[in-house]
Amino acid sequence: MTSLTSSLEYITHQRQIRRGGLNDWTIARGMHASSTRPTRRILDAVGNPTTTKALHIARIAAGAALLAPGNARWRGAANVFLGLSNAALYPRHRYGTDGSDQVSSFVQTAAGLARLSRQPAVQDALLWYVALQANLSYLISGWVKLLGEPWRTGSALNGIMRTRTYGHEGMWNLTNRYPVPSRYLAHGVLALECLFPVAYLKGGALARPVMASAAAFHVANGYFMGLGRFITAFEAMHPMVAYTSAPKNHPAVAGRDDRMLKATASVAAIGVTIAGAMAATRRARATDPWPHGRVLTTRHGNELHYNERVSEDRKKPVLVFGTGMISTTEHFGWVTDKLVEESDCGIISYSRAGYGPSKRRSTVPYTLQESVDDLVDLVRGAVAEDRDVYLVGHSLGGEIGRRAAVELGDRVRGVIYLDSSHPDELTRSKQQQEAADRLKDGLNMFTRSLRAGLGATLVRPKWVHDLPAEVRNRAFAQYADSKLWRAGLREWDATEADFKKWGGDLPPVDAHALVLSAQRTVDRDPEQLLMHNELGAAHRGEGRVVRNSVIEGADHDTMLTDARLGGDVGRRILSFLDEVEAQEGGSGGAGGAGGSKGNQSKEAR
């Protein structure tokens, strides 16, 4: 039924696969540009509208035939065809596909192979496979929900019912009118999913009520949320649950081979051991100090690890780089590479307390002022008093740098903001407000998942691959370690509380300023551009250089992680330093010997 209705829906909505449609293959195929040539050829063949239509017609015929009674071996081949063809069509229907198609694929394939096999042990192994997948589906879905505050408080149902995609106005009105029963219903869903394996207790005595409750849940989802195929897709797994949960003395399961369960438990134990070893290795790599790094203890007792490249020319300024929230110093790789290549500027990059190898020793509740104090102490302790200092900060690092510059006074010659935060953004920016509502749940979920050892399942995100090759492993080790996320969660709680109390204008900063905004940041939310202009305005004064500009084609992260955009940021920083020196008539900017070296290398290239 699931395969039949799925193909009927797709074939009657041809506009979605035509040019300009939601699943226009001429556009969707770009997502597979990194695949091998044979894979792309197969996908292009399936993506051809004629082939797509033919496959769906064949699936409709196979689905209809399987609804007829009988037990011939061709039924196994039809099951396997439906499973594999659905998997092949998935890239073609990427948008609009839901979990029911994925469930249908593995149920059809497993059922087909079981029908084609003449070995009872193989058949039982495949039935156990589907049953275990069913338990895993409910179990993981429930525990993931449990990580989110709306489900724990019982408000999730009301929130879902008010959305356009899955909502239902009538049900939303009922949840508003009767909030207490609504909370009980949400908690009931949580209990059902989190405790689904209790169906196996007491010889399967609870299997029928558990499966009946799950069936009612899917019927309700089909009616209120429009997830009709979920009813038949998930119900197709329940017979396997019933078969595997029945006691072995039941006549219907006499001789059942349960070795698949024992094998799965053994593999799971091995997997947990491997995941733990990987987590320990990543933790060691994430917290391992840089080979030539230094350590400074701040007034709060925090140990800040930092890397420095400071030239002997004391006229050259030192740039101190501060990261954004849940970010690593490796994010600055392309920017600092450009500065090293084309100047003799000093560079210090450090990890805030709790990030990477840096340790937070403070025992009092964290506030943003603690990070500001740490940065002030780092500048005073790591940079000679006769050297000019520029603070460079990305995102939250920009706001921390701005506050530190006020305290450091004339020790800071300039502040460079890279798509910086603004203390009033949670009040003035609707986009930031909406993101803030989701961020806390996301941070909690990621942190708890990593602490549970799921970091072993992470795939390297694109931004890691985009970083310079020599820093990718270290950046990913930190990203996959819960320590980074716990520090980010702590910072977010403090940032949200701090920003929501903000009022008034930014205090003046007696230093030069360069404010670089990512184009996609300000395009999505013009209020961000106004706030970035205010950051620059706080620095304006006689004799000061203040520049605001937008990095075209960049978003909040790619302005650093993309090689071309990161290099552009580095060039703009060098131009800004030269402009400051020209304005003040000095000789300690990015030019001089470093500038000549950069010009020579450009000519050579």
Give the Cα separation of 300 and 287 in Å (integer).
20
Share of the chain above pLDDT 70, in %: 96
Is residue 85 over pLDDT 90?
A: yes
CB of 445 closer than 8 Å to CB of 144: yes
Across 578-584, average pLDDT: 90
Average pLDDT of the residues in 131-152: 88
Query: For 410-419, what is each residue's pLDDT tens digit?
Result: 999 999 999 9
End-to-end CA distance of the chain: 63
- The pLDDT of residue 492 is 95
State residue 593's pLDDT score.
38
581 is written with which tokens?
């020196």
In this predicted structure, the answer to whether residue 594 has a pLDDT above a threshold of 50 is no
| pLDDT over threshold 90, residue 58 | yes
What would you report as the CA-atom Rg of the chain, rounded to the nearest whole angstrom?
29
**Average of per-residue pLDDT values in the chain:** 90
Say which range, 495-499, 500-504, 538-542, has the weakest mean pLDDT: 500-504
More confident residue, 504 or 110: 110
pTM for this entry: 0.78
Q: Please, are residues 447 and 486 in contact by the beta-carbon 8 Å criterion?
A: yes
Residue 530 has pLDDT above 90, yes or no: yes
Point out the least confidently predicted range of 17-21, 402-406, 596-600: 596-600
**Residue range 119-133: mean pLDDT, rounded:** 95
Report whether 424 contacts 500 (CB < 8 A).
no
At 254 the three-state DSSP class reads coil
Tell me the CA distances in angstroms from 267 to 133, 136, 262, one per residue in order.
15, 15, 9
Which of 28, 86, 96, 16 minimizes the C-alpha distance to 56?
86
At 148-206, the pLDDT tens digits run 778 888 888 888 898 888 889 999 999 999 999 999 999 999 999 999 999 999 888 99
| Over residues 242-271, mean pLDDT | 91
Cβ 124 vs Cβ 253: under 8 Å: no
